[in-house]
């Protein structure tokens, strides 16, 4: 009997207009789409949006004309600003998705099997590709091992290598406490 085992989706830590959060990497999406919490936070910051009618095609190949909002912002990833057009589906409940447009504009190379990514112009600088945790109900008898909890390259820069190793071990040991939920845009200005 064949079993279906869902795979978790990769995401990256991003900053948009001082809002820190995550964007799920979606290689099936041609265009980047904001999640509802990011959309609401952008509206609160006074970001402008344009009304557009576009043809939206979903994963099963079916599509239809939809009225959407569109905005243009810089997405900060590992200190780089990537100008990005986002579609907003006002009535949809979705997470922020970074589509093929974003991956091409940022010149990102994904290595899913090794859970790494890098910018094409700096192939020797690798970043950990983080994966979302699968809901426990999908694997009721197994703990979630869908993502490795470690410090990002831009975190803990003031720590010694031994301190970073010990902190990474602590994060991994207590990953059940540090698991992230679905939509992770925090509506606060940290910068």
- Positive or negative, the Cα torsion across 109, 112, 113, 117? positive
pLDDT tens sequence across 167-185: 777 777 766 555 554 444 4
Segments making up each domain of the chain, as ranges: 10-134+144-178
Rounded CA separation 183/75 (Å): 17
Would the pLDDT of 186 be above 50? Answer: no
Task: Return the CA Rg of the chain.
Answer: 18
Instruction: Report the pLDDT averaged over residues 69-91.
Output: 93
Cβ-count burial 96-135 (b if 16+ within 10 Å, e if not): bbbbebbbeebebeeeeeebebbbeeeeeebbbbbbbbbe
Spell out the residues 6+ positions from residue 184 whose beta carbon is closer than 8 angstroms to its own: 21, 22
Best mean pLDDT range from 10-24, 78-92, 98-112, 160-174: 98-112
Rounded CA separation 42/62 (Å): 30
CATH superfamily of the domain spanning 10-134+144-178 = Acid Proteases (2.40.70.10)
pLDDT tens sequence across 101-134: 999 999 999 999 999 999 999 999 999 998 887 6
């Amino acid at each position: 009997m064949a079993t279906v085992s869902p795979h978790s989706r990769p995401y990256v830590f991003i900053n948009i207009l001082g809002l820190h959060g995550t964007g799920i990497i979606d290689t099936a999406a041609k265009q980047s789409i904001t999640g509802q919490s990011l959309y609401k936070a952008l509206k609160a910051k006074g970001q402008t949006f344009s009304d557009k009618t576009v043809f939206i095609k979903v994963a099963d190949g079916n599509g239809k004309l939809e009225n959407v909002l569109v905005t243009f912002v810089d997405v900060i990833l590992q200190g780089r600003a990537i100008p990005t057009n986002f579609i907003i589906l006002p009535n949809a409940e979705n997470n922020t998705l970074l589509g093929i447009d974003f991956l091409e504009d940022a010149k990102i190379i994904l290595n899913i099997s090794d859970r790494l990514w890098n910018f094409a112009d700096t192939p020797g600088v690798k970043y950990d590709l983080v994966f979302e945790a699968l809901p426990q109900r999908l694997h009721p008898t197994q703990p979630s091992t869908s993502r490795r909890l470690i410090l990002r390259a831009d975190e803990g820069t003031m720590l010694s290598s031994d301190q970073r190793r010990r902190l990474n071990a602590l994060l991994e040991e207590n990953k059940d406490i540090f698991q992230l939920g679905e939509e992770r845009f925090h509506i606060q200005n940290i910068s």
